[in-house]
A and B are shown apart, each in its own frame.
Chain A
Amino acid sequence: EDQVTQSPEALRLQEGESSSLNCSYTVSGLRGLFWYRQDPGKGPEFLFTLYSAGEEKEKERLKATLTKKESFLHITAPKPEDSATYLCAVQASRAGNTPLVFGKGTRLSVIA
């Protein structure tokens, strides 16, 4: 069974205090790993897709990295507007339909 575990559940940072969010996964062959941002009361917003170990992608203060067992979302010098829940999801490369499996998310609060 495909599984995704995100840690920590919640993270509180001071503005400018860099940190990382973790996404550990178990899947029988990874087709892709997705990161989303979700603001309260809104739908998830796509951030990144990673396909193979060693791959990295960046967007503003965010950088996502991938190994064979986990992904990290690094947040450099965060600002209050980075406060949100960050979701990780995996998709297996098995034959047939393989929907996304989501983790429970990390709720990030950045304090000014």
Chain B
Amino acid sequence: DADVTQTPRNRITKTGKRIMLECSQTKGHDRMYWYRQDPGLGLRLIYYSFDVKDINKGEISDGYSVSRQAQAKFSLSLESAIPNQTALYFCATSEDTYNEQFFGPGTRLTVL
């Protein structure tokens, strides 16, 4: 079984809808991250969490919110989706702040 899983893998939604992307990990890591990837822009950090009580904004947090329900679960929400949030979204984990990150398979989100 994969160490980092994301659901759903693909989602098509309409402008204004609320969307939640979920991430679960079995690696036992405290650190979890949400990124988005756009063609030509690379990976950009949305939010990150160092433990259940610690949530931090990344480079592009506007329009997004997160919830760290447990050590193993980290959810990303789009409160009112807009077309320019169409992208690939990745969850990642790391054992420590300075260790390599392990990525999930990604969620392809399309906002019409």
Interface residues of A (CB under 8 A from B): 31-32, 34, 36, 41-46, 49, 87, 89, 91, 97-100, 102-105
CA separation between A97 and B90, bound complex, in Å? 20
CA separation between A89 and B37, bound complex, in Å? 14
| Known A42-B105, A42-B106, A43-B106; contact A99-B33, beta-carbon cutoff 8 A | yes
Say whether A100 contacts B42, CB under 8 Å.
no
* Interface footprint category on B: 20 to 34
Q: How many A-B residue pairs have CB under 8 A?
A: 47
| Known A34-B100, A99-B33; contact A41-B106, beta-carbon cutoff 8 A | yes
Contacts of B90 in A (CB 8 A): 43-44
Interface residues of B in 43-76 (CB under 8 A from A): 43-45, 48, 50, 56, 58-59
CA separation between A44 and B35, bound complex, in Å? 11
Say whether B42 contacts A103, CB under 8 Å.
yes
CA separation between A34 and B103, bound complex, in Å? 13
Say whether B105 contacts A49, CB under 8 Å.
no
| Known A99-B33, A103-B42; contact A45-B106, beta-carbon cutoff 8 A | no
Q: A102-B44, A104-B40 are in contact. List 10 more A-B contacts (CB 8 A).
A: A34-B100, A34-B101, A43-B103, A43-B106, A44-B43, A46-B100, A46-B102, A91-B98, A99-B58, A105-B42
B75: min CB distance to chain A, Å: 17
Say whether A32 contacts B98, CB under 8 Å.
yes
Say whether B101 contacts A98, CB under 8 Å.
no
